[in-house]
Structure 1
Amino acid sequence: MPFFSVVIPLYNKENFIAETLNSVLAQTFTDFEVIVVDDVSTDGSISVVEKIKDDRIRIIRHEKNKGLSASRNTGIKNADSEMIAFLDADDLWKEEFLESMAGLSKKYPQASMYASKYEEVYNEVYVEHDFSAQEGLVHDFFINNLNQTIYYPSSLCVKKEAFDVIGHYDESITFAEDLDFNIRAHLAVKMAYANRPLMIYRMASENQITHSGLKNRSITDFDKYEALYPARKDLKKYLDFHRYIMAKHYKLDANTQGYKKMLKGIDLSSLNYKQIVLLYAPAFILRAIKRIKGLLIKNGLNPTSY
């Protein structure tokens, strides 16, 4: 049995998947299998994977397109190891990522999740964020993640047994799928963290869902979690921050009903003044800011309201 099962959901990442897989095969910790879950790609992604010859790689094909959450769930259910490492098909690991995660799992056996800091890359410009989360057990995830997330799915490992407690990814959610999973996970189990950038997140991948709007997509039910945990002030602030994010998306999509629903749930004391201004700003201002931000990102800058 391998120590890690590396789950890679794949959908139309022909230009990225080879480099992603090679970053796995270059790991200093070599006791792993790789499960590539093809979600009915329509480009040459699978042909690229098939050209990489390594007995640790296996491909599972969906018969119909099911989405990112379903692809992750397929990987989890077919994993042979007791530790699942997730990697999106356009992201990269530094060569010591798995070695670091294995070390964390031995040092902090009471944890069920392990993650690392990351770098963002914008057109070959690398950006590392300064997070308050320290090395070791994370005791205040929701507070640490009120702004820039301290990890992405591609820098996360989860004990397979933990899914019995957390549940799998919700396949009905089709935008920011990991948000719902993170809420459930950090309410249920502990996480240990490596405060070193061991993963590279591509901010300009050609078909990232986060670049699109919310039209015809479903999101996390924030009200459900607020009702289940009314005494968790840290969770309330976290939910309100993401309501703010979704409210802006809805306004850009001219979805007045969705915007009002998000706005109704927000306690404005959860936000900073810049966020409050943007929350009430007209859509044309948000569109202008989005265009300007897009131009800055191309030059390696990522201004935020955090």
Structure 2
Amino acid sequence: MPFFTVIIPLYNKEKYIENAIISVLNQTYTDFNLLIINDCSTDSSATIASKYKSDKVRIFNHEKNAGLSASRNTGINNANSNYITFLDADDLWKPTFLESIFQLIQSFPEARIFGTNYEEVWESVIKKPYNGSEILPINFSGYINFFKINVKQGIYNHGSVCFHKEIFEKVGFYNEDISFSEDLDFNIRANYNFKLAYHNSVQMSYFMQTENQLTQSSLHDKTTPDFDIYEDWAKTNSDLKKYLDFERYALGKRLKKNNDLRWEKIIVTIDSRNLNWKQNILLKMPRFVLNTLEKLKLFLLKFGIKTSTY
């Protein structure tokens, strides 16, 4: 049985999938198998991936397009390792990602979630995220409070984290009814019940502007997480309450920019004390102002300047 199972969900990523696979196969820690879940790609993604089939690399084909959560769940159901990790088909791992996760597992036995930092790739510009890691020592390795520190960008993303299979057995799999930010919903359940060990080193590259990326698309036909279902947990966990309000802010602002009226319902339960002054102001801004600021942000990124409300 391999130590890790790596899962790559695949849907129409013909320009990127080969590099993603190679970044997995080039890991310095080699005790893993790779499962590629083809979610009915209509381009040449599956053909490209099939070149790498071996005893170490298996490909599963969905009979119908089922979405990212279903692809991850297919991978989990077919995993034969205690430790499961994911990589999106348009992202890349650094060669030492699995080695860093393995070291966390050995050093912090009480944890069941293991994450590292990452870098954002905006075309030719590479930036570190504003995700709370800046308050940690550069070489920090240890337990962290996910809800307390994770009120900016993600302290990890789903390409820089590993889960013990015990998590899925206790909190369930990915909610297939959610078609946007399903990772947020899962992160809440996982981190509420299990400890997170973190290494503050950049171990993956997160590409921000690739084709068909959900984070760049409209949400009008997407089902988003219902953060209200976790309010009972938040009554006894102020860090979780602040985290929920931050995620409501981030999602509500995006929906407002898209002229999606769901934003009004999402932000109504936010305690303004859990947001900073910039975030409270932005929630009151008209849609055209938010979209203008977004265009300005992308323009500045071309010159290596990254702005943030965090």
Pairing 1:1-306 to 2, within 5 Å after superposition: 1-52=1-52, 54-129=54-129, 130-133=133-136, 135-256=140-261, 258-306=262-310
242-251 or 178-187, which moves further after superposition?
242-251
Cα displacement (A) at 1:62:
0.5
Q: Distance in 1 between matches of 2:296 and 2:111?
A: 41
Cα displacement (A) at 1:205:
1.1
> 1:15–1:254: structure 2 CA closer, same or farther, 3 Å change rule?
same
Secondary structure of residue in 2 paired with 1:164:
helix
204-213 or 178-187, which moves further after superposition?
204-213
Secondary structure of residue in 1 paired with 2:135:
coil
Cα displacement (A) at 1:33:
0.4
Q: Distance in 2 between matches of 1:12 and 1:93?
A: 20
Q: Distance in 1 between matches of 2:149 and 2:276?
A: 15
Q: Indicate conservation of the 8 Å contact 1:67/1:174, yes or no.
A: yes
Q: Indicate conservation of the 8 Å contact 2:5/2:34, yes or no.
A: yes
Q: Indicate conservation of the 8 Å contact 2:6/2:84, yes or no.
A: yes
Q: Identify unmatched segments of 5+ residues in structure 1.
A: none
Secondary structure of residue in 2 paired with 1:153:
coil
Q: Distance in 2 between matches of 1:30 and 1:132?
A: 32
Letter in structure 2 aligned against 1:281:
M
Q: Deviations over 1:281-303 (max 9, x none)?
A: 00110111122223333444432
Q: Deviations over 1:236-284 (max 9, x none)?
A: 111111111121122123233x122122111111111111111000011
Cα displacement (A) at 1:108:
1.2
Q: Indicate conservation of the 8 Å contact 1:101/1:115, yes or no.
A: yes
Q: Distance in 2 between matches of 1:142 and 1:110?
A: 18
Secondary structure of residue in 2 paired with 1:154:
coil
Cα displacement (A) at 1:177:
1.0
Q: Distance in 1 between matches of 2:21 and 2:298?
A: 28
Q: Indicate conservation of the 8 Å contact 1:123/1:299, yes or no.
A: no
Q: Distance in 1 between matches of 2:11 and 2:155?
A: 25
Secondary structure of residue in 2 paired with 1:46:
helix
Q: Indicate conservation of the 8 Å contact 1:213/1:249, yes or no.
A: no
How many residue pairs align between the two structures?
A: 305
Q: Indicate conservation of the 8 Å contact 1:122/1:299, yes or no.
A: no
Letter in structure 1 aligned against 2:212:
N
Cα displacement (A) at 1:53:
5.2
170-179 or 227-236, which moves further after superposition?
227-236
Q: Indicate conservation of the 8 Å contact 2:53/2:59, yes or no.
A: no
Cα displacement (A) at 1:197:
0.4
Cα displacement (A) at 1:145:
0.7
Q: Distance in 2 between matches of 1:199 and 1:227?
A: 35
Q: Name the Cα RMSD after superposition.
A: 1.5
Q: Identify unmatched segments of 5+ residues in structure 2.
A: none
Q: Distance in 2 between matches of 1:132 and 1:272?
A: 17
Q: Deviations over 1:208-249 (max 9, x none)?
A: 101123212111111110134312111111111111112112
Cα displacement (A) at 1:54:
4.0
Q: Indicate conservation of the 8 Å contact 1:39/1:66, yes or no.
A: yes
Q: Distance in 1 between matches of 2:273 and 2:106?
A: 40
